[in-house]
Structure 1
Amino acid sequence: MKIATAAYPIDWFDRPDAMAEKARRWVAEAAGDGADLLVFPEYGGMEWASLAGPAVRGDQAACTEAAAARWDLADALFSGLAREHGVHILGPSAPVDGGHGTHVNRAGFYRPDGAKAHADKQIMTQYERESWSLRPGEGPAIVDTALGRIGILICYDSEFPLLARALAEAGAEILLVPSCTDAPMGYHRVRIGCMARALENQMIVVQAVTVGAVDWCPAVDENHGAPAVYGPPDHGFPPDGVITQGPMDRAGWTYAEVDLEAVRNVRRAGQVRNFSHWPEQQGRVPHVTFLQFGAAPP
């Protein structure tokens, strides 16, 4: 299959048809280049808030409410584009109403047959806990597609091994990680998490990013990153595990051709067998050995 992963700028729209035109242009470009699976980033949907007009400028709470209010509009738009172009799409995430004054960070997944599902972020960053009205959503998400079984973890979630492991054990061979990071160090934390999840689960991991400055929305005011597709550094994959990586902070699609048979081969006959050897940790972790030092030589 061919995967397209986005470095996506968050724009301002004066009218709904401008928002729809951007989505159509991005999807049409990737589909026209032969992509089967398109991955948009975390919080790319914050741009939907601009449809509420100038009143949201500089007001994080207003931006959040406005983006959440347009979830259904965006959901229908990306579902229609998946059907129109015959592709699978992980749409840009955005806050949705979580009840009692809270919100959940959610990304929609759209199949070309019209079926759709969603994935929620599991673990909140300090900013999301302390400065935003966000709470965890439903459990780690996995979807069945004609391309294979696909897991989804949103940004910070990728830095926690057990979430990805649960998806791998449920049959995921591809993990999608839409991300939004405001500094290079944040981007590299997610990048390293993605590469580690690819190594330990012997799977393909796709990272999408937001890029550019957003002077009207405090929650996503700066965005840095490079989109990439990673695999285990073993037989059938690049020695460094980087299948493809786009340029830093440059908007556009980055593409990779992947074959899930390579995942199955490396799990079955790789130089190492991290996926199958994972359970061996369970009997050892509770039994930490405190080493005793002998006497120092005279």
Structure 2
Amino acid sequence: MRAALLQMTSGIDPAANAATIVDAMTRAKGEGANMLFTPEMAGYLDRNRARAAETLCAESDDPVLAAVREAAAREGLWVHLGSLPFKDERADGRWANRSLMIDDSGAIRARYDKIHLFDVDLANGESWRESSVYGPGERAVAVDTPWGRMGLSVCYDMRFPDLYRALTNAGATMLLVPAAFTVPTGMAHWHVLLRARAIEAGAFVIAVAQVGAHEDGRTTFGHSLIVDPWGEVVLDMARTSGLALADIDLSRIEEVRARVPAIANRRAVPEEVEIA
């Protein structure tokens, strides 16, 4: 499989973000890619909630999704849209942070709404309340592709290994982790968490990230990665925006799982813990 990763500095203009993605799709197809992967919030990244509320729409009306689906059919290219923000999707009024898998006919093969939401008060005075705007997803989702079963997740999900255990128990051999990581947490945890997820799952991890200074004032870490099932980094895009391609040797999955059969050796762990 030849994977194309698009490391973006998404802004507050959906049309501009869509144009960046569609251009990358054309270039990726021309270089022999089978699938393009984008980061979290690829179509719109804005922490100004009032402004975002004026821009966002439901999935059925989203211009970025429409443009990417059209281009996928034209180019004959699979696309994993790391996530797009949608409103008017939930009964509780909160928005959805949704990952979408689009096939080479432009059809949507799978949808996954981010389950784990980042709510924290930091020592430097910053406060993040993702759950005040976004509602959590309620389903783990894996999708079959010509290159194997891929398990879907988004950003903060990477800190919760039970999700990846469920995905690999369901047969996933690639784990997708689009993200918009901050710089301090990225420096501390990005590589080690993603390598750990790959090692414990005996699976490839493809983690495409936002990078650089964004229009809404935030700065993101970058370092989009492909990690193989042994935990070796196949590709690291550092802090440069743009397109990168890498060939993925799918036989590596069986090789590593035979060498360390952690999935085959798994046992159900009781919910109750004995306190001695």
Tell me the equivalent position of 2:232: 241
Shift of 1:61: 2.9
Shift of 1:227: 0.7
Aligned partners of 2:6 and 2:37 also within 8 Å: yes
Q: Give the match's secondary structure for 1:45.
A: coil
The alignment status of 1:44 with 2:42, answered yes or no, reads yes
Is this contact kept in 1: 2:4–2:37, CA < 8 A? yes
**Which residue number corresponds to residue 72 of structure 1?**
62
- Unmatched 5+ residue regions in structure 1? 50-57, 234-239, 291-298
Kindly provide the CA deviation profile for residues 158-213 of structure 1, in whole angstroms up to 9, marking residues without a partner as x.
11111011111111111110000122423643432221111111000001000121
Inter-CA distance 89–263: structure 2 relative to 1 (3 Å threshold): same
Check if 1:60 corresponds to 2:49: yes
Counterpart Cα distance in 2 of 1:59 and 1:266: 45
Determine if the alignment matches structure 1 residue 276 to structure 2 residue 274: no
Partner of 1:237: none
The 5 Å alignment of 1:248-287 reads 249-267=239-257, 269-270=258-259, 272-279=260-267, 282=269, 286-287=273-274
Which structure: larger Rg? Answer: 1
1:282 maps to a residue whose letter is: V
After the TM superposition, which residues 107-186 of structure 1 pair with which residues of structure 2 at under 5 Å, given as runs? 107-116=99-108, 117-126=110-119, 129=129, 132-186=132-186
1:39 & 1:255 partners in 2: Cα distance? 10
Q: What residue in structure 1 maps to residue 7 of structure 2? A: 7
TM-score when normalising by structure 1? 0.80
Q: Give the Cα separation in 2 of the matches to 1:99 and 1:156.
A: 24
Q: Are the equivalent residues in 2 in contact too, given 1:227–1:254 (CA < 8 A)? A: no
Task: Point out the structure with the larger helix share.
Answer: 1
Identity among equivalent positions (%) equals 29
Mapped contact 2:198–2:227 kept (Cα < 8 A)? yes
Deviations 1:54-111 (A, max 9, x none): xxxx832321451345762222211112222222111142221233331111122100
Q: Report the secondary structure of 1:275's partner residue.
A: coil
Name the stretch that deviates more: 175-184 or 257-266. 257-266
Which one of 99, 105, 111 corresponds to residue 97 of structure 2? 105
Distance in 2 of aligned mates of 1:30 and 1:78: 13
- TM-score norm. by structure 2 comes to 0.85
**Equivalent in the alignment of 1:54:** none
CA distance in 1, matches of 2:187, 2:71: 29
- Aligned partner (choices 80, 84, 105) of residue 74 of structure 2: 84
The number of equivalent residue pairs is 265
| Corresponding position of 2:30 | 32
**Are the equivalent residues in 1 in contact too, given 2:2–2:247 (CA < 8 A)?**
yes
RMSD: 2.6
